[in-house]
């Protein structure tokens, strides 16, 4: 595969942009090699600067549930751009968008638009702290909630109940306020709550995780978590930045049958433009400025281009509820094919799949939390990734991420991907 142009661009990019990219995972650091610079995307395909074509399973890391550049989103954007790109004053499309979100996700009674998933989670935590008057939060090891200071915390060792920063620049103060529990382990949550009685403002969780690879919360765990939060007056936040509008029109909370107090969104909600949102119970959301004292603002929040792209996406979802069955069928077909490829090598690698999110973990033991996820052989994944890439299949360039299937993936795409798996899993050993 010719990658000359991408190599030139990467060298040039590294002179002006830290690591040559505007978000770290794009740099291929965990799989090695040079990232491909993309020049266009259409449907299930991406084309790089050297003209190589790939069947894409990252979909811009989640947003492209209908594939790249679908006609109806393009049309919505072209119509919107005629009227101007930003006003800093309210527009009608923001009401339509907010109303549609509350229709699709019943636990959301009121919603505030922001510009990224990170902004949504940071703001949701502030609202939870503001309305409870408490300061500490609980997150789960292996869940990702964007790059806010108080999320870049991992579990402390031994007797430490507070976490430790995972990045320089995050203060000890932040770490002291963030407690880290084990995913799918309700006792770890109970312990933290009893050691910090009446101090916990919020528990934030990816109800189906994508960011340690795909891991579903088990039903009993998530139900108990809901009950404990209600009993202890802790705000339960479902971070649905990845799962929202992907797993069902109402997100992971719809398939799990659990209503959080607040939810955060991103990715699909913007139809490929930079959008995030947080929303939930009216009594909490009314605490947010200007109706309440919890300050939160944004110059470009509710931007008309972003709202029109997002509204086109969510309207399509509302009018075509059958897409989730289509995504399920395509995804289960793909997962079954990859599973056959694994078996043909005499292995028992794990495929975790929930709807159109799936991860092939290179471990033979079930993956249901962070500790089991990291048993995966990331070096083997890196080899597999490059074998797949060489066969024209673009997977996430890191083991602990999800593959995303879109409605644009054709049977031919899936069959080609399965055939590439048979060769690539075998080759990864040699």
Ligand X SMILES: *Cc1c(COP(=O)(O)O)cnc(C)c1O
Under 8 Å between Cβ of 370 and 212: yes
Minimum gap (Å) between residue 239 Cβ and ligand X:
4
56, 239, 261, 413: the active-site residue: 239
Q: Of the listed 267, 281, 330, 383, which one is catalytic?
A: 267
Specify whether 29 is catalytic.
Answer: no
DSSP H/E element including 278: strand 276-280
Cβ 247 vs Cβ 354: under 8 Å: yes
Nearer to ligand X, 126 or 145 (CB): 145
- Residue 131 or 242: the one with the smaller Cβ distance to ligand X is 242
CB 428 within 8 A of CB 67: no
362, 374 in Cβ contact below 8 A?
A: no
CA-to-CA distance for 148 and 136, rounded, in angstroms?
15
Write the CA distances from 53 to 40, 358, 390, integer angstroms.
10, 22, 10
Residue 159 CB: number of other CB atoms within 10 A? 5
Nearest distance from C-beta of residue 61 to ligand X, angstroms: 6
Closest distance to ligand X from the beta carbon of 209 (Å) = 8
Shortest distance, CB of residue 430 to ligand X, whole angstroms?
34
Give the three-state DSSP class for 417.
helix
Could you tell me the two tokens for 297? 């603002």
Shortest spacing between CB 65 and ligand X, in angstroms? 14
For residues 52 and 211, which CB has a smaller minimum distance to ligand X in the complex? Answer: 211
In the complex, the residues that contact ligand X under the rule CB under 6 A are 116-118, 121, 144-146, 206, 210-211, 239, 241-242, 266, 276
Smallest distance from ligand X to CB 116, Å? 4
Pick 48 or 239: Cβ nearer ligand X: 239
Question: How are the residues of the chain apportioned to helix, strand and coil, as percentages rounded to the nearest 5?
Answer: 40, 20, 40
- What are the two backbone dihedrals, phi and then psi, of residue 72, each rounded to the nearest 5 degrees? -70, -30
With b for 16 or more beta-carbon neighbours within 10 A and e for fewer, the 278-303 pattern comes to bbbbeebbebbeeebebebeeebbbb
Q: Does 187 qualify as catalytic in the annotation? A: no
Residue 3 Cβ vs ligand X, minimum distance, rounded to whole Å: 26
Judged by beta carbon, residue 270 or residue 304, the one nearer ligand X is 270
Is residue 239 annotated as part of the catalytic site, yes or no?
yes
Residue with Cβ nearer ligand X (38 or 125): 125
What spatial distance separates the first Cα and last Cα of the chain, rounded to whole Å? Answer: 20
CA distances from 320 to 134, 237, 324, 424 (A): 42, 28, 9, 36
Nearest residue to ligand X on Cβ basis: 117
Catalytic-role residue among 45, 139, 144, 281: 144
Q: Give the burial class of 246: count Cβ atoms within 10 A of its Cβ; 0-12 exposed, 13-18 middle, 19 or more buried.
A: buried
Strands 208-209 and 215-216: antiparallel
| Residue 73 DSSP one-character state | H
Q: At 319, give phi and psi (nearest 5°).
A: -80, -15
The beta-carbon contacts of 361-367 under 8 Å, at least 24 apart in sequence, are 361/213, 361/399, 362/399, 367/213, 367/215
How do beta strands 276-280 and 215-216 pair? unpaired
* CB 117 to ligand X: min, Å: 2
Catalytically annotated residues: 144, 239, 267
């Amino acid at each position: 595969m010719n990658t000359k142009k991408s190599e030139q661009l990467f060298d040039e990019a590294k002179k002006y942009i830290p690591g040559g990219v505007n978000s770290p995972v794009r740099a291929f650091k965990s799989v090695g090699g040079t990232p491909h610079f993309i020049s266009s995307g259409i449907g299930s395909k991406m084309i790089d600067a050297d003209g190589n074509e790939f069947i894409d399973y990252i979909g811009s890391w989640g947003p492209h549930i209908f594939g790249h550049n679908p006609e109806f989103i393009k049309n919505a954007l072209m119509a919107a751009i005629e009227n101007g790109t930003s006003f800093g004053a309210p527009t009608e499309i923001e009401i339509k968008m907010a109303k549609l979100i509350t229709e699709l996700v019943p636990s959301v009674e009121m919603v505030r638009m922001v510009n990224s998933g990170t902004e949504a989670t940071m703001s949701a935590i502030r609202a939870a702290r503001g309305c409870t008057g408490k300061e500490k939060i609980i997150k789960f090891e292996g869940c990702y909630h964007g790059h806010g200071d108080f999320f870049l915390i991992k579990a402390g060792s031994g007797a430490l109940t507070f976490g430790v920063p995972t990045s320089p620049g995050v203060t000890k103060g932040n770490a002291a306020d963030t407690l880290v529990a084990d995913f799918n382990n309700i006792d770890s949550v109970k312990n933290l709550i009893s050691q910090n009685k009446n101090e916990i403002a919020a528990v934030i969780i990816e109800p189906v995780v994508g960011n340690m690879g795909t891991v579903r919360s088990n039903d009993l765990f998530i139900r108990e978590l809901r009950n404990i939060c209600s009993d202890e007056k802790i705000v339960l936040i479902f971070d649905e930045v990845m799962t929202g509008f992907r797993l069902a029109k109402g997100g992971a909370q719809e398939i799990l049958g659990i209503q959080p107090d607040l939810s955060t969104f991103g990715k699909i909600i913007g139809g490929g433009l930079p959008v995030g949102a947080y929303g939930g119970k009216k009594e909490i959301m009314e605490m947010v400025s200007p109706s309440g004292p919890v300050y939160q603002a944004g110059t470009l929040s509710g931007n008309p281009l972003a709202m029109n792209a997002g509204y086109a996406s969510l309207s399509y979802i509302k009018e075509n509820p059958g897409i989730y069955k289509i995504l399920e069928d395509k995804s289960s077909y793909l997962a079954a094919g990859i599973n056959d490829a694994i078996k043909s090598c005499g292995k028992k690698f794990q495929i975790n799949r929930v709807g159109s999110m799936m991860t092939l973990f290179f471990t033979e033991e079930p993956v249901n939390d962070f500790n089991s996820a990291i048993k995966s052989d990331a070096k083997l994944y890196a080899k597999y990734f490059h074998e797949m890439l060489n066969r024209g299949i673009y997977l996430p360039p890191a083991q602990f991420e999800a593959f995303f299937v879109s409605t644009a993936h054709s049977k031919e795409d899936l069959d080609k991907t399965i055939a590439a798996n048979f060769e690539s899993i075998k080759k990864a050993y040699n």
